[in-house]
Amino acid sequence: MIKAIVFDLDHCLMSPHELGAHALAPVVRAVTEANAGRLSEGVLRSAFADFMRAPFDRVALKHGFPEDVSAAARTAFAQLAVPRTLRGYADLPVLARLPVRRYLVTTGFLLFQQRKIDALGIGPLFAGVYIDAIDRPARTSKKAIFAEILASQGHVMDEVLVVGDSAESEIAAGNELGLATVQILREGVVRTGDAKHHIEDLAELEALLGGA
């Protein structure tokens, strides 16, 4: 019997593309200026595309950002604006109907993630909102946050589902803790065999709970 679900945010409840094509313009500008021609234009283009798909620290590592370029990007990311309202994926209203305790765990820059959650208006639907903040010194990990939720809320392993898109992030963290994992196959998400279940949308999650 599933009593609690831990959700991811980006590519799970909302598409980062909803922020608009120019949402990351201040980051692109800051990186391009700080880079001063060291990384090629091709590498930068690829990195900018990856910003929409993965947390900043992974992208910076993958593309070999020099330390000062990373620093400039972090400063820009930490101040990014978000539209006043966001609607999330079209099935987002299903979230409120799920007969479970809901938790939100998201990785990213603290203020940027918080602004997206606020713009979606979904904060009150969760028993807890946890930001694995790239720009805060006391950062732990999604795995540590999941473990903390279980311990502090008194959930046992087999009553908790983890729902998200990323094989490397929440699916791996959930598996390491022995939790059942559900990969949500939003547009652009690469299917992983590591998840126990796969769903196309939140309506399928509702069905999965009903049949579980």
Q: Which residues contact Mg ion by CB under 5 A?
A: 8, 10-11, 165-166
Work out how close the CB of 83 gets to Mg ion at its nearest, in angstroms, rounded to a whole number: 19
| Comparison of 166 and 183: residue with beta carbon closer to Mg ion | 166
| Comparison of 11 and 155: residue with beta carbon closer to Mg ion | 11
Work out how close the CB of 102 gets to Mg ion at its nearest, in angstroms, rounded to a whole number: 16
| Comparison of 69 and 195: residue with beta carbon closer to Mg ion | 195
Q: HSE of 66 in the Cβ direction (CA atoms, 13 Å)?
A: 12
3-state secondary structure of 60: helix
Mode of pairing for the β-strands spanning 180-184 and 101-108: unpaired
Work out how close the CB of 106 gets to Mg ion at its nearest, in angstroms, rounded to a whole number: 8
| Comparison of 43 and 125: residue with beta carbon closer to Mg ion | 125
Token digits of residue 147 = 């473990």
Work out how close the CB of 10 gets to Mg ion at its nearest, in angstroms, rounded to a whole number: 4
Token digits of residue 140 = 């732990």
Angle at 153 between CA 152 and CA 156, to 5 degrees: 105
Residue type present at position 92: L
Nearest to 146 by CA among 182, 185, 114, 106: 106
Contact (Cβ atoms closer than 8 angstroms) between residue 135 and residue 113: no
CA gap 75, 78 in Å, rounded: 5
Work out how close the CB of 98 gets to Mg ion at its nearest, in angstroms, rounded to a whole number: 18
| Comparison of 55 and 98: residue with beta carbon closer to Mg ion | 55
Residue type present at position 69: V
